[in-house]
Chains A and B, each alone.
Chain A
Amino acid sequence: MAFLQDYIYYIGAFGLVFIGLFIMLTKHNLIKVIIGLSILETGVNLFLISVGYITNGTAPIFSKPGLNVREMVDPVPQALVLTAIVIGLAVLALVLALSIRLYKHFGTLDLRKIKELKW
C-alpha cells in the first residue's frame, strides 16, 4: 500500500499512456483514434513532469527574497514538457485537418473501410 501511495503519480501517468495506446491500437473510428492520441500525449507529459518533483518543493521562481534554493523543484522537466505540449498540439492540428479531407474524399471515418491502397 505504501508502494501505491509513493508512486501514485507514475501509476496515474502510465495509466493514461496505456489507455491511450489501447485506444489507438484497437478502435477503428478515426476520431476515437485521435482522442486516444491526445490521451497518450497527456499521459507522457504527466510522466515527464512527475520525474522532476521534489517533495514539499515549490515553483522555481524567486518571487520574494529568502526562498531557499533547496526547496525548488527541478526546472528542466518543465521546460521539456513545454516543448512537448506544443509539439503535441501541432500534430493534433495536422491530423484534424487531414481527417476533414479524408471525410470529404471517402464519406466515412471508419478505418476499416479506408483501404484504397492495396497490398
Chain B
Amino acid sequence: MVNPVLLIVVPIGLAFLTPILRFISKKWVKFIPVLGFIFNLAVSISLIPAAIHDPLIVKLGGFAPPFSIVLVVGPVGILFATLISLAGVLVSFYALSYIKEGPQQKYHMLYMLLLAGATGVVLTGDIFNLFVFFEILCISSYALVAYLGNKAGIESAIKYLIQGSIGSSLLLVGIGLLYGYFGTLNMADIASQIGTVDASRLFIPMALMITGLGIEAAIFPLNAWLPDAHSSAPSSISAILSGIAIEVGLYAVIRVLFTLFDVSSFLLFMLVLGVVTLIIGELCAMSQKNIKRMLAYSSIGQIGLIVFAFSLSSNFGVGGGLFQMISHTLSKALLFLAAGFMIYKTGSMEISSFEGIGRKMPLTALLFTIGTFSLVGLPPFVGFASKFMIIRAALAKGEMLYTLLIGLVLLATVIEGSYFFKVIQVMYFKGSKTGITKSESPITGLIPMIIFASLIIFIGVYPEFIMGIINPAASELIDKFSYIRSVLG
C-alpha cells in the first residue's frame, strides 16, 4: 500500500525539479503535470478501499500524535484527493494546447503547487499545517490569476491578494488563541478538549477562523474578489479555481466547524447565510453579459447551496453537500474549459459574440450544453441526483422553515435555468457571425471535456456508484468522536 504522503510530496518534488528539467529540454516541461497527476490519481484510487474501512493515520517523522503532524486519510480526505487529482490530470491535459504565451514553465510549476497545496489541506490533521498548505493554495492562485498580465488580471489579483491576506492573518490570530487555550495544535486533540472551555470564550476564535477561511470559500459577505478573479484568469485556471480552490476552502470551513467546534449552535446562521448567498449569486449572474463573470457568480450561488446542504446536519444533508461539491466540480470545470476555447475562437468574452457557435464548433457547444444541464439539475445528469438528495434531506426535517427555504432554493434553480438557457439560445438559435470558420477545438482540449461529460452522465445515471464513498464520508464529518478515537487511539 502506497504511503499517502506521496500524494502531497510528489507534486512538490516535481515542481522543484522543473527548473532543472527546463535546461535539458523546454518542450517536455508541459507534460510533467500530466504525469504527476496521473500518478496521484492512481495512488488515490488505490487507497479508497482502505480509507473507507478505517481512516489511515500517517505519522510524519515517526513520532506519535499529538507530538507530531499527522495526516488523516479518511473517506472525506480520499474523496477530495481523488477529485483534485482527477481535475488536475484533465485540466493539465487541456493546458497542453491552451497555454501558449507567457512564461509557460512557471505556469506549470504554479499549477502543480496549487494542487499540492489543495491536497495538503484536505489530508492534514493538524491545524497549523492546514494554515501552511492553505497559504500555498492561496499564493499560487494569486500568481496564476495575474498570469496573463493584462489590466484586468493585475487588478483582480491585487484585490484578491489584499482580501486573502487579511483573511490569513485573522486565521493565524484564531490559531494562536486556540493554542493559548489548549496547548496543542492537533485537531483531534483540540476536539477532545473543547468541552473544558466555556462556549462564550470559544466564539471569537471560531469567528476569526471562519472569516479567514471563508474569504477563500467565497461565503456571502466575503466574496467580493471572486467575480473579478475568476473572470480574469486563463480559462484552465478558472476551472481549477471554481472547481477545486473554493471547494477546498469550504471543506476547511466545514472541518473546523464540525470537527473542532460544536456546530449545533451555529446551524441556523449557516442556513440563512447559505440561502442568502445562493439567491444573491444567482440574481447577480442573471444580469451579466460576460460569460466568465456569469459562471463566476454561478459558482457563488452553488457555494451557497452547498452551505445550505451542510447546515442540515443530518446524514443525508451532509452527504448531499458532498455530492453537490462533486457535481459542481465536474460541471463547472467542463463549462469553463468549453468556454475557454469558444472565447479563443471568437476573441471576446461577451455572450453576444457566441451567436451561432453551435454550428461552428458543434462538439464544444454540445459539451457546454451538457455542463449547463447538469449544473441546473436536469434528470439524467449528476446535478439532478445531487440536488434531489439535498431537497430530500431538507424535506425530511419536516419543519415549516425548511419547506420555505426549499421554495427559495427551487426559485434560485429557476433563475439559474433562465440565464443558462439564454446562453444556449444565443449559441444555437441565432444567426452566425461572419468570419468564423467551422473548426473544432484541438483534440487535447476535447479529450478532457469528453471525459468530464461522460463522468457527469455516468454518475448521474448510476449514483449508487458514488454513494459507497459519500455515506462513510458524511458519517465521518458528523460523528466527531470516531474521528478523535481513530487519531488518538
Contacts and interface: CB of A to CB of B under 8 A. Distances in A.
B158 A98 contact: yes
Given A24-B166, A94-B139, A101-B146, A44 B154 contact: no
A114 B176 contact: no
A77 B139 CA distance: 23
A76 interface: yes
Contacts of A40: 166, 169
Given A48-B176, A94-B142, A101 B154 contact: yes
B267 to A, nearest CB: 29
A37 B165 contact: yes
A70 B146 CA distance: 50
Interface in A82-119: 83-84, 87, 90-91, 94-95, 98-99, 101-102, 105-106, 114, 116-117
Contacts of B158: 30, 95, 98-99, 102
Contacts of B176: 44, 47-48, 51, 77, 80
A51 B180 contact: yes
Interface in B149-187: 149-152, 154-158, 161-162, 165-166, 168-169, 172-173, 175-176, 179-180, 185
Contacts of B132: 83, 87
Contacts of A94: 139, 142-143, 161
B124 interface: no
Contacts of A114: 155
A37 B149 contact: no
B476 interface: no
A44 B173 CA distance: 6
A33 B240 CA distance: 29
A116 B152 CA distance: 7
A16 to B, nearest CB: 11
Given A37-B165, A98-B157, A76 B185 contact: yes
A33 B159 CA distance: 11
Given A30-B158, A102-B155, A105-B151, A91 B165 contact: yes
B128 interface: yes
B228 interface: yes
Nearest to A25: B166
B159 to A, nearest CB: 9
Nearest to A99: B158
Given A47-B173, A90-B139, A117 B161 contact: no
Main secondary structure of the interface of A (DSSP, over half): helix
B154 A80 contact: no
Contact of A17 (B152, B173, B175, B180): B173
A75 to B, nearest CB: 12
Contacts of A44: 169, 172-173, 176
A40 B162 CA distance: 12
A113 to B, nearest CB: 11
A90 B137 CA distance: 13
B135 interface: yes
A51 B154 CA distance: 38
A47 B170 CA distance: 12
Nearest to B138: A91
A32 B155 CA distance: 17
A117 B152 contact: yes
B242 interface: no
A80 B128 CA distance: 8
Interface string A29-42: 01001000100110
B232 interface: yes
B172 A48 contact: yes
A62 B175 CA distance: 28
A104 to B, nearest CB: 9
Nearest to B142: A94
B179 A76 contact: yes
Interface in A42-63: 44, 47-48, 51
Nearest to A117: B228
A72 B214 CA distance: 37
A95 B161 contact: yes
Contacts of B168: 87, 91
B155 A116 contact: yes
A21 interface: yes
Contacts of B175: 80
B128 A102 contact: no
B156 A117 contact: yes
A66 to B, nearest CB: 26
Contacts of B135: 87, 90
Contact of B162 (A33, A80, A101, A105): A33
B179 A51 contact: yes
25 contacts: A30-B158, A40-B166, A44-B169, A44-B172, A47-B176, A76-B179, A80-B128, A80-B176, A84-B172, A87-B132, A87-B139, A90-B139, A91-B142, A94-B139, A94-B143, A98-B142, A98-B146, A98-B154, A102-B154, A105-B150, A106-B155, A116-B151, A116-B155, A117-B152, A117-B228
Given A37-B166, A51-B176, A87-B139, 17 more contacts: A37-B165, A41-B165, A77-B176, A77-B179, A83-B128, A84-B172, A90-B139, A94-B142, A95-B158, A95-B162, A98-B154, A98-B157, A99-B158, A102-B154, A105-B150, A106-B151, A116-B155
Q: What are the 10 A-B residue pairs with the smallest beta carbon separation, nearest first? A: A51-B180, A48-B176, A101-B154, A105-B151, A117-B228, A87-B135, A44-B172, A44-B169, A116-B151, A102-B154
